[in-house]
Structure 1
Amino acid sequence: MTTTHPLELFRFCPKCGSANFIENNEKSKKCRDCGFVYYFNSSAAVVAVIENDEGRILVSRRAKAPAQGALDLPGGFVDMYETAEEAAKREVLEETCLHVNNLRYLFSLPNIYVYSDFEVHTVDMFFLCNVSDFRALKAQDDVAEVFFMDKNQLNPEDFGLASIRKGIKNLLKHSL
């Protein structure tokens, strides 16, 4: 992880373009010219925990960086104007071709997701997703493969992203 604060990368005011954009406090910068204060906040992301009738968990293998080749759970960023629930359903469909019937919020974890060598601070919201028909299951989008694993075979260290590792530990500790 970087030792510099993420706000160091923001050199110009996003409102007026001024270079007179200075540190306001540990969470924000302020433009001396127009007065705009920019707060650096986490991006929203979702993670889908999908269990089949045999109690096995749907796992994916990442096709792209970061953590290419490592295990993962379906999920991704929440788009603008989208609820977290809508994002979870969309991400599951995009990555697995499966339709989520309903879902239930489980917990959230902070994360740093490195995208194009840029650290994106996120809050990852985990959802237990119900899928009734798995016949369409197919790896899509940024997923190399999808498969089911027995809970007792889940090893958090096989998962490439820190929040997913922590989430798997949490799921195993509290069982679904």
Structure 2
Amino acid sequence: MKFCSNCGSDLIEWVIPEGDNHFRYYCKNCETIHYQNPKIVVGCIPQWEGKILLCRRAIEPRKGFWNLPGGYMENGETLPEGAAREAFEETNAKVKIGKLISIYTIPQINQVMLHFLAELESDKFSVTTESEELQLFNLDEIPWEDLAFHSNDFALKAYLESIQQLNYEVRMGTLVK
């Protein structure tokens, strides 16, 4: 950080503020502490007649790999609203968001990924600027080796485990490197 987003000053220090235990950017001019917190990413597992809709990414990172629809939350929206919006942005499909199925923490990049179960409202979907191909997969056809992100792998395995155990509790995981 070079300038304070509160007052515009360049009197920024990287310090542990009094009473805190993390380094933070601190503006000596207006005495604002700038907190930086993890980004929340929301997505869903869209289903239609027992199949899962996956998107082949048309954008980086991981262009060309299969992905569950998802992305960063926007200010002013709920978790389910964000997941439904991301599904629409990547598939042109409307979904009904259901239960939360997984929470996946990626501390190295300051992200928390939440995946919900979702039902497609119809079998109408199409590619967008974010997805170059869409396909409904049977559960035994999921292209595991070609999934874009660890969070996708974790969410889909959580879903399969939920089906097998008839237990739809939220599964939590962390990418460890």
* CA apart distance, 1:27: 5.0
Matches within 5 A, 1:55-134: 55-111=50-106, 121-134=110-123
AA aligned to 2:53 is: L
Q: Deviations over 1:50-80 (max 9, x none)?
A: 1221x22111100011100011011112111
* CA apart distance, 1:35: 0.8
Q: Deviations over 1:92-135 (max 9, x none)?
A: 122212111342212221237xxxxxx9632111010112311x
TM-score (norm 1): 0.79
AA aligned to 1:49 is: I
TM-score (norm 2): 0.79
CA contact (8 A) 2:42 2:82 kept: yes
AA aligned to 1:11 is: K
Gaps of 5+ in 2: 17-21, 169-177
Matched, 1:160 2:148: yes
Q: 1:126 to 1:85 in 2, by over 3 A?
A: same
* CA apart distance, 1:38: 0.8
Matched, 1:144 2:135: no
CA contact (8 A) 1:16 1:34 kept: yes
Query: Percent identity of the aligned residues?
Result: 26
